[in-house]
Chains A and B, each alone.
Chain A
């Protein structure tokens, strides 16, 4: 037991410095939130700003026209009813929405480049491994305004990928479905927009 404690002390000392450095790096990246995604040029920075404007406009619209997140309740009926009402109202209000409204061609292109660049780093193999282990969903035909199908697992989105994409406001998320990148609104449980085949195929 004594040797285990000594080993722990040693381990703690050994990991403290690198962990601190990693945290500083993480904090610096987090602090530069609007530029996250390493917009390498002014053009990219503008694309990120345009994307964030479109996302904010969508969220304002959803909150004002459809509603905000409901309060916690003991009643599963209330949860499912509210969810269905929100989704149905959103579909009604956004009936003209289509794929590419938010992920416009230049924005989708930026995302594809960011994802490809992240997967090309040393961490890329780990991201690919995480994607494979996360019960990937294949064969789901995505549509804008679609409610995420009940019973299908949610594929986790690798954190390193998220660190390299533009920040989203609370309630909106990036989701991976097969090789597609989905902009998902967690409140009505709806697909807002998506980029088909955003995850490049693995080179053999």
Chain B
């Protein structure tokens, strides 16, 4: 009888565990657990730790990567973004791909984009998407709230900065020529490229896309790209400048691959224990950035000086 009671208790325990997991009981890793403890102090827009100068007439934007899971954590990041928007007043968001995971039914567009970011959308914040390998290129490029103008790759200007949203799923010769031509013609003080697959990465899950790097990195050098943002790797990483270009990986605004880094001297900063988003401010010759976790911790921050354009450097040497 006692034996049957033990079996019954064991089975009940297993059943309860099995039922609990689908409801999203997260596995807590040390940093996340600490961040949760810190959450007891309720965050409001007024008590946020802001590391940007909030200068007049600056360009302010947020960065999201690999966000579209529709899960609780994506909504948590979105709530933090809205809090920061109230103070920082960023008016657009760049999306680094995997904007909508899984199916692309109308309900997926709602649950994985419109609902989590409804406060931002209601405040008039614009989203500029690039395509990841989990996106539906044909559906998403036509989805007006992603502001892709029906194209797989495109550019847009904001103040002193020009943004180049590329499709790294399909970097064909036509797109490579477009990149070269548009970078060459750009008169912007800041040239910022973003796309899904990273050229440099110390994540174990994917690593860098070496073939893409062979084609794109020389163009970025030649035409003076200042900063590159990518996703795909489900972590946050800031790479030490590679040939004067600053590279960021932010692929953990929805998905997360914990403890996923391989040791590397190339890494300036890495964070892989919570979801994140970034806020960025471009003012004059400085770019300020702040990376914030889904629990409101600032995990990285700093400022980057604008690199001199290659043609200007060549003139100075004459």
Complex: chain A residue closest to B208, CB-CB: A133
How many whole Å from B276's CB to the nearest CB in chain A? 22
Is the CB of B189 closer than 8 A to any CB of chain A? no
Is the CB of B313 closer than 8 A to any CB of chain A? yes
What's the dominant secondary structure at chain A's contact region?
helix
B209, B219, B244: the one contacting A134 at CB < 8 Å is B209
CB pair B244–A12 under 8 Å, yes or no, is: yes
B103, B110, B134, B316: the one contacting A153 at CB < 8 Å is B134
Within 8 A of B (CB), among A152-187: 153-163, 167-168, 170, 173, 186-187
Q: A72-B150, A150-B104 are in contact. Are A189 and B138 (CB under 8 A)?
A: yes
Q: A26-B180, A83-B138 are in contact. Are A16 and B218 (CB under 8 A)?
A: no
Enumerate chain B residues within 8 angstroms of A153, measured Cβ to Cβ: 133-134
Interface-facing stretch out of B52-60, B70-78, B140-148: B140-148
The interface size of chain B toward A, counting residues with CB under 8 Å, comes to 60
Interface-facing stretch out of B17-25, B166-174, B260-268, B292-300: B166-174
Is the CB of B176 closer than 8 A to any CB of chain A? yes
Q: A8-B307, A71-B142 are in contact. Are A156 and B215 (CB under 8 A)?
A: no
Within 8 A of A (CB), among B120-158: 133-139, 141-145, 148-150
Q: A23-B180, A129-B210 are in contact. Are A156 and B173 (CB under 8 A)?
A: no
How many whole Å from B110's CB to the nearest CB in chain A? 7
A12, A30, A74, A123: the one contacting B211 at CB < 8 Å is A123
Enumerate chain B residues within 8 angstroms of A15, measured Cβ to Cβ: 218, 221-222, 243, 310
CB pair A70–B142 under 8 Å, yes or no, is: yes
Q: A73-B142, A74-B144, A126-B214 are in contact. Are A8 and B177 (CB under 8 A)?
A: no
CB pair B143–A72 under 8 Å, yes or no, is: yes
CB pair A16–B106 under 8 Å, yes or no, is: no
Is the CB of A76 closer than 8 A to any CB of chain B? yes
Is the CB of B115 closer than 8 A to any CB of chain A? no
- Cα A167 to Cα B230 in complex, Å, equals 27
Bits for B58-100, please: 1 = Cβ < 8 Å to A, else 0.
0000000000000000000000000000000000000000000
- Cα A79 to Cα B207 in complex, Å, equals 34
CB pair B180–A162 under 8 Å, yes or no, is: no
Enumerate chain B residues within 8 angstroms of A83, measured Cβ to Cβ: 138-139
Is the CB of B206 closer than 8 A to any CB of chain A? yes
Within 8 A of B (CB), among A123-161: 123, 126-127, 129-130, 133-135, 150-151, 153-161
B174, B210, B216: the one contacting A170 at CB < 8 Å is B174
CB pair A157–B169 under 8 Å, yes or no, is: yes
- Cα A173 to Cα B310 in complex, Å, equals 34
Enumerate chain A residues within 8 angstroms of B244, measured Cβ to Cβ: 7-8, 11-12
Bits for A58-98, please: 1 = Cβ < 8 Å to B, else 0.
00000000000111111111011001000000000000000
Within 8 A of B (CB), among A8-35: 8-9, 11-13, 15-16, 18-20, 22-23, 26-27, 29-30, 33
Q: A9-B308, A79-B143, A167-B173 are in contact. Are A156 and B197 (CB under 8 A)?
A: yes
Q: Beyond the given A9-B308, A23-B180, A133-B209, could you list 14 further A-B residue pairs with CB under 8 A, ordered by the A residue number?
A: A8-B244, A12-B308, A16-B310, A19-B222, A30-B173, A79-B139, A80-B105, A127-B211, A129-B207, A133-B208, A156-B197, A156-B212, A157-B171, A157-B172
Q: Which 9 A-B pairs have the closest CB atoms?
A: A76-B109, A126-B210, A76-B106, A8-B244, A19-B222, A159-B171, A130-B211, A15-B221, A19-B218
